């Protein structure tokens, strides 16, 4: 009687657990667990019927029914392990069906064994009321398949456990035990059937303890709670990429956004990156690797150049994964695409240095770059010249033709001046009608010729006011040049600038529309 009640309890408790878990069936892996509970209930009830029924044939029928659980349960335990190790996309109905084809074949052969005896050679009632079975080699092969499924499930969970931390680590340990218990009990019972006899054997050598351990693990660590669901969902829908690395910089996990961003930067195309080293994942990621090794919160910016298109910029925030005891498990990296903000930043810098009317550098932008070019010329012992230009009688143009036509005159002047010089020259608007030209590599004679070309090009430029009247343009130019190597580039630039400005003043004093040039030794 006690044995009967033992089997009955082992059959009813899983059904009660199904009712408790059913509201959470949409949580990844829970539907699989519900199916495992159902199979556990079937196994216990079929074992009960096998125990209480007196006739051999009836016992065989219930024994056959119990084998449905014996062969399918291990396969489901594998997919439960996958679902709780970050492989939710594999724990779907189609892969489960494919993996269950071998157990289904075994079950069909068991139910039709009387016709071919491929699974059992003899069946008899044992002393404890249960059946004693003599299995064939084929039957042992099917059992090995089931055991292999459980071993694989344990391996998947253990691999995830190695990189987990905190409560996740303890939860995974519970699941490992839940998969290990049926694996050990089945193989021990096959090796020594007498151990499974009695009340204790009926409980221990079944799937009942494993189902209880899984439920405890779910309940204890809130697997069925909304928070883990929300975290998993957030992980997948985040626009920022997430990459989890272990201590050896191997990828342990990542989301879809990480696949998209890293592929965009020229890294490994999207897929399952688990096990890949960071260096294999993305090129030129030395700064990311160094941030990982520092084991402190870090922010790095990675630039990836692409021929014929805009550069890709990724910002990577690296956070170390450290246990409460200070053990380092790896890092979690959040990846953001900052290409657009970098583009805007570049555009803002350009706008800050560019004159909006003429498209030339403004005073600040010109002087900054002109000084830099002077320093480079000095380091390479090359000559350098500077021209300061003033559009003659510009105030009269504004007064006579209006400010709109004055702006047109400035634009035409800038275009004409640039057309007279090759690409190595650098132009800037440094005042209202005052312009400058930096000529890296040009000595005094060459610079003076360039100045004359600019003056001629401006005189030849045609400008017509709104009313059709022609506006005549002329320019006064002062220039200075140096062939010496300066000790201080900034001071020499100020010297050149002052000298060119004095030459400009002299050109205007001498009657405008002329070039005055001076060389500094």
Query: Structural domains in the chain?
Result: 2-228 (1.20.1070.10), 238-340 (3.30.450.20), 354-520 (3.30.70.270)
Identify the pLDDT of residue 257: 87
The rounded distance, in Å, linking the Cα atoms of 71 and 106 is: 8
The rounded distance, in Å, linking the Cα atoms of 399 and 396 is: 5
Task: Read off the DSSP letter of residue 90.
Answer: G
**Phi, psi angles (nearest 5°) of residue 26:** -85, -10
Q: How would you label 20-35 residue by residue, b for 16+ Cβ within 10 Å and e otherwise?
A: ebeebeebbbbbbbbb
CB 272 within 8 A of CB 258: no
Lowest-confidence pick of 300-304, 413-417, 452-456: 300-304
Identify the pLDDT of residue 191: 62
Q: Is the pLDDT of residue 199 over 50?
A: no
CA nearest to 214, candidates 45, 14, 72: 14
The rounded distance, in Å, linking the Cα atoms of 58 and 423 is: 99
The rounded distance, in Å, linking the Cα atoms of 161 and 154 is: 10
CB 335 within 8 A of CB 315: yes
pLDDT band at 280 (very low <50, low <70, confident <90, very high): confident
Which segment, 186-195, 322-331, 344-353, is predicted with the most confidence on average?
322-331
Calculate the CA dihedral of residues 449, 453, 456, 462 and round it to 10 degrees: -170
Stated as kind and residue range, the H or E segment containing 304 is strand 298-304
Identify the pLDDT of residue 78: 93
Identify the pLDDT of residue 508: 92
Q: Is the pLDDT of residue 52 over 80?
A: yes
Lowest-confidence pick of 26-30, 117-121, 201-205, 297-301: 201-205
Neighbours of 437 (CB within 10 A): 28
User: 360 to each of 85, 372, 437, how far by Cα in Å?
Assistant: 59, 17, 10
Segment 113-123 shows an average pLDDT of 92
CA nearest to 408, candidates 452, 362, 361, 462: 462
Q: Is the pLDDT of residue 99 over 90?
A: yes
Task: Read off the DSSP letter of residue 240.
Answer: S
CA nearest to 128, candidates 68, 189, 215: 189
Q: Where are the alpha helices (DSSP H) in 320-470?
A: 339-353, 363-379, 394-401, 403-419, 444-460
User: 459 to each of 88, 221, 355, 420, 513, how far by Cα in Å?
Assistant: 76, 85, 23, 12, 9
pLDDT > 70 in the chain, percent: 89
Length of the chain in terms of residues written:
521
Q: Tokens at residue 251, please?
A: 């990828």
Identify the pLDDT of residue 473: 93
3-state secondary structure (DSSP) of residue 318:
strand
3-state secondary structure (DSSP) of residue 397:
helix
Neighbours of 219 (CB within 10 A): 13
Lowest-confidence pick of 24-33, 101-110, 361-370, 455-464: 24-33
Better pLDDT: 146 or 5: 146
**Residues pairing with 149 in the sheet:** none
Segment 389-407 shows an average pLDDT of 90
Q: Where are the alpha helices (DSSP H) in 238-285?
A: 256-264, 278-281
Answering whether pTM is above 0.85, one says: no
Better pLDDT: 344 or 263: 263
Q: Is the pLDDT of residue 338 over 80?
A: yes
Q: Is the pLDDT of residue 200 over 60?
A: no
515-520 and 475-482: which strand pairing?
Answer: parallel
Q: Is the pLDDT of residue 68 over 90?
A: yes
Cα 12 to chain centroid distance, Å, stands at 47
């Amino acid at each position: 009687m006690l044995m009967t009640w033992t089997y009955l309890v082992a059959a009813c408790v899983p059904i009660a657990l199904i009712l408790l878990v059913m509201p959470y069936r949409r949580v990844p892996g829970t539907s699989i667990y519900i199916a495992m509970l159902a199979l556990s209930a079937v196994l216990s009830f079929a074992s009960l019927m096998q125990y209480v029924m007196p006739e051999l044939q009836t016992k065989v029928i219930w024994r056959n029914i119990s084998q449905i659980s014996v062969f399918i349960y291990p396969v489901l335990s594998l997919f439960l392990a996958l679902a709780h190790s970050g492989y939710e996309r594999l724990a779907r109905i189609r892969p489960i069906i494919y993996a269950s084809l071998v157990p289904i074949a075994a079950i069909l052969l068991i139910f039709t064994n009387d016709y071919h005896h491929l699974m059992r050679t003899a069946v008899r009632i044992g002393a404890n009321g249960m059946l004693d079975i003599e299995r064939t080699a084929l039957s042992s092969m099917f059992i090995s398949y089931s055991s292999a499924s459980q071993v694989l499930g344990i391996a998947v969970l253990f691999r995830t456990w190695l990189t987990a931390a905190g409560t996740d680590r303890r939860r995974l340990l519970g699941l490992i035990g839940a998969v290990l218990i049926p694996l050990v009990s089945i193989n021990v019972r096959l090796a020594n059937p007498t151990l499974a006899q009695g009340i204790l054997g009926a409980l221990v050598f079944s799937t009942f303890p494993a189902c209880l351990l899984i439920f405890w693990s779910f309940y204890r660590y809130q697997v069925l709670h909304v928070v883990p669901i929300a975290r998993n969902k957030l992980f997948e829908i985040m626009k920022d990429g997430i990459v989890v690395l272990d201590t050896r910089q191997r990828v342990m996990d990542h989301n879809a956004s990480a696949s998209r961003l890293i592929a965009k930067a020229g890294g490994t195309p999207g897929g399952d990156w688990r096990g890949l080293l960071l260096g294999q994942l993305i090129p030129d990621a030395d700064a990311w690797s160094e941030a990982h090794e520092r084991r402190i919160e870090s922010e790095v910016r990675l630039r990836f150049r692409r021929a014929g298109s805009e550069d890709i910029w990724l910002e990577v925030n690296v956070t170390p994964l450290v246990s409460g005891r200070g053990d380092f498990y790896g890092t979690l990296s959040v990846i953001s695409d900052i290409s657009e903000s970098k583009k805007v930043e570049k555009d803002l810098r350009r706008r800050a240095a560019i004159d909006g009317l003429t498209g030339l550098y403004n005073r600040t932008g010109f002087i900054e770059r002109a000084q830099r070019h002077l320093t480079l010329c000095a380091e390479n012992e090359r000559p350098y010249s500077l021209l300061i230009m003033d559009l003659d009688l510009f105030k009269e143009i504004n007064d006579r033709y209006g400010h709109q036509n004055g702006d047109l005159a400035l634009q035409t002047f800038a275009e004409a001046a640039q057309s007279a010089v090759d690409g190595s020259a650098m132009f800037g608007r440094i005042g209202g009608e005052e312009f400058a030209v930096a000529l890296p590599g040009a000595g005094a004679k060459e610079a003076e010729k360039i100045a004359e070309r600019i003056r001629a090009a401006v005189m030849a430029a045609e400008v017509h006011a709104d009313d059709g009247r022609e506006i005549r343009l002329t320019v006064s130019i002062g220039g200075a040049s140096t062939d010496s190597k300066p000790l201080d580039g900034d001071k020499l630039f100020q010297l050149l600038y002052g000298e060119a400005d004095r030459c400009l003043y002299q050109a205007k004093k001498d009657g405008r529309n002329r070039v005055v040039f001076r060389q500094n030794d």
